[in-house]
Amino acid sequence: MARWSGRRGGTPGGRLRRRERVLVLVKPDEARETAARGELDAAERPAADMLVVDDLAKAYGGVRAVDGVTFRVPAGAMAGLIGPNGAGKSTVLGMIAGAIRPDRGEILLDGANIAGSTAVSTARRGVIRTFQTASVFSKMTVLENLLLGAPPSPGERLRSSFIGRRAWRRAEAEQVEQARGLLARLDLTAHADSYAGELSGGQKRLVEIGRAMMAQPRLLLLDEPMAGVSRMLAAPIEALIDGLRASGITVVLIEHELGLVERLCSPVIVLAQGRVLKQGEMAECRADPEVRRAYLVG
């Protein structure tokens, strides 16, 4: 299942990480079995932080988009990152994902500093993100989109196009099977062979989240998963995100729909003008007069 270490020499401390990743996508009864065998990291170290962001900063010209942001996300938690427009939420997410290079500060993933890593190497460490505008591969089928979510496999090497086809085809068949299972959960089986670009906005969101789940991430970063989603699909997407929490993946969620944040997220981190205004439960944040003012003033 965990094939992140397949290419480019593998990840350090692979054993522990592999165990964590096995949590994802296994059925609940299987998860209990694994837990009974004493292999669950989350159970062993419930209080450990998966993600520590320390004094993170990024300026664009004179604008301090992110200005000394510090927060922690415990392993297995679903953290909400909220704040008015321009607060720096997406920049923080981009820096964690390796898409934006921070000016200063540390990003510790399970203790290792990943600040300044590229998007590719960050993803290979198991940090997977979705985008503010659903970023599917439009002229590729939904099934292909999901297959690209799976960890990079030996079959994707150039030489595999010519040699060892039998070996990778078996691995590929397993991934196709896994993707079909996921499509059934996402209620997208009928669209498996449709081009992702032909789907509605909400369905594209589902594909994007499904693709991220195929990656079996250690840390999942969701950037406004509800943006542009029709009412009809809002409930299934919320259920899907809720399911992620239950499966033990650590999630950081940016969302403007605060009801959703309240229902799903703990802790909640409120950003305003590039700084952390408040951290805690959503109810506390809601009650805080400074938070209210930030939302009103913007």
Partner 1 sequence: MSAATQYYTITILVYICANVIAAWGLDLQFGVTGVLNFAFIIFQAVGAYTAGVLSLGSSSGNGGFEQYIGGANLPFPLPIIGAMLAGAALAAIVGLIALRRLRSDYQAMVMLVVSVVATTVVTAETGLANGAAGLSLVANPMYGLAGLSRQTQSWIFVAFCIVVMLVVGAVMYAVVYSPHGRVLRAVRENEHALEALGRSATHSRLEVFVIGGALAGLSGALLVEFIGAWAPSGWLYPETFVFFTAVIVGGRGSVAGVAIGAALIGVGIQQAVQYLPIGSDPTVLAAAEWIITGVLTLVFLWVRPQGLLPERRRRFAGGSGVVTR
Does position 155 interact with partner 1 (CB under 8 A)? The reply is: yes
If you compute the radius of gyration of the chain from its CA atoms, what whole number of angstroms results? Answer: 19
Both tokens assigned to 163: 């040699």
Does position 149 interact with partner 1 (CB under 8 A)? The reply is: yes
Distinct helix (H) and strand (E) counts, the chain: 12, 10
Does position 144 interact with partner 1 (CB under 8 A)? The reply is: yes
Candidates 54, 172, 262, 284; binder of partner 1 (CB under 8 A) is 172
Does position 156 interact with partner 1 (CB under 8 A)? The reply is: yes
- Total residues interacting with partner 1, rule: CB under 8 A: 47
- Residue 104 or 169: the one with the smaller Cβ distance to partner 1 is 169
Q: Which stretch binds partner 1 (CB under 8 A): 80-88, 152-160, 257-265, 270-278?
A: 152-160
Task: Give me the 101-130 binding string for partner 1, x by CB under 8 A, dash otherwise.
Answer: -----------------xxx--xx---xx-
How far is it, in rounded angstroms, from Cα 207 to Cα 120?
20
Does position 138 interact with partner 1 (CB under 8 A)? The reply is: yes
Does position 202 interact with partner 1 (CB under 8 A)? The reply is: no
Does position 70 interact with partner 1 (CB under 8 A)? The reply is: no
DSSP state at residue 152: P
Question: Which backbone phi and psi does 157 adopt, to 5 degrees?
Answer: -70, 150
- The answer to whether the Cα torsion of 133, 134, 135, 137 is positive or negative is negative
> Which is it for strands 104-109 and 49-60: parallel, antiparallel or unpaired?
antiparallel
Candidates 73, 95, 136, 226; binder of partner 1 (CB under 8 A) is 136
How far is it, in rounded angstroms, from Cα 29 to Cα 247?
11
Q: Which of 188, 171, 172, 169 is nearest to 180 (CA)?
A: 188
In the numeric block, the tokens 């960890």 are attached to: 151
Interaction site with partner 1 (CB under 8 A):
4, 97, 99, 118-120, 123-124, 128-129, 131, 135-141, 143-144, 147-149, 151-153, 155-158, 160-162, 168-177, 193, 195, 211, 215
